[in-house]
Amino acid sequence: MADPKYITYAGNEVAGTIVIDTRKMSLLLVLGDRALLYPIGVGREGFAWHGVEQVSRKAKWPSWTPPADMLKRRPDLPVSMPGGSDNPLGSRAIYLGQSLYRIHGTNEPETIGTTSSSGCFRMLNSHVNDLYDRVRIGAKVVVM
């Protein structure tokens, strides 16, 4: 997949805001009158959501603990997994408020551009690394 690209931004959000369009499977980082556009994977049917959150935390090579509901659906999953290349959160995670949702990398790059997650937003590891370096804790995240 291509590098994120700069586009013209004519919306109302301030610089530093992340805008996620689940229908277009895209994430914008607003930079003023321009934005960086990244392709993403989104929640599958029954797991998509909309709303406003804030970046509450960021982590490099995050560990992963599947939520209880996910473990009920997928008892084959590990109870937890350390960070690393096999971890489904990939190289970076950007946590959204107090929710279980994150913007994160992936160990399954073929899922970018699909509805395959349990509500998180998947990015290529190179893309989430770039976003991670640009976004600050407290940044507004709009999911539509």
- What residues are annotated to the active site? 104, 120
Say what the pLDDT of residue 133 is: 98
Give me the pLDDT at residue 103, please. 98
Q: Which residue has the tokens 């994160």?
A: 104
Residue 38's contacts (CB-CB under 8 Å, 6 or more residues apart) are 4, 26, 27, 28, 29, 123, 127, 131
pLDDT reported for residue 67: 77
Which secondary-structure segment (H or E) carries 142? strand 140-143
pTM of the model: 0.92
- Residue 96 is part of a domain; what is its CATH number? 2.40.440.10
- Structural domains counted in the chain: 1
Q: What is the DSSP string of 24-40?
A: TTEEEEE-SSEEEEEE-
Per-residue model confidence (pLDDT) at position 1: 64
Please tell me the predicted confidence (pLDDT) of residue 140.
99
Per-residue model confidence (pLDDT) at position 93? 98
Return per-residue pLDDT of the chain as tens, 144 residues. 678 999 999 999 999 999 999 999 999 999 999 999 999 999 988 888 999 999 999 999 999 888 788 888 888 988 888 899 989 999 999 999 999 899 999 999 999 999 988 889 999 999 999 999 999 999 999 999
Half-sphere exposure of 30 (CA within 13 A, CB side): 18
Yes or no: say if 96 and 141 are a contact pair by the CB < 8 Å rule: yes
Structural domain including 18 reads: 5-143
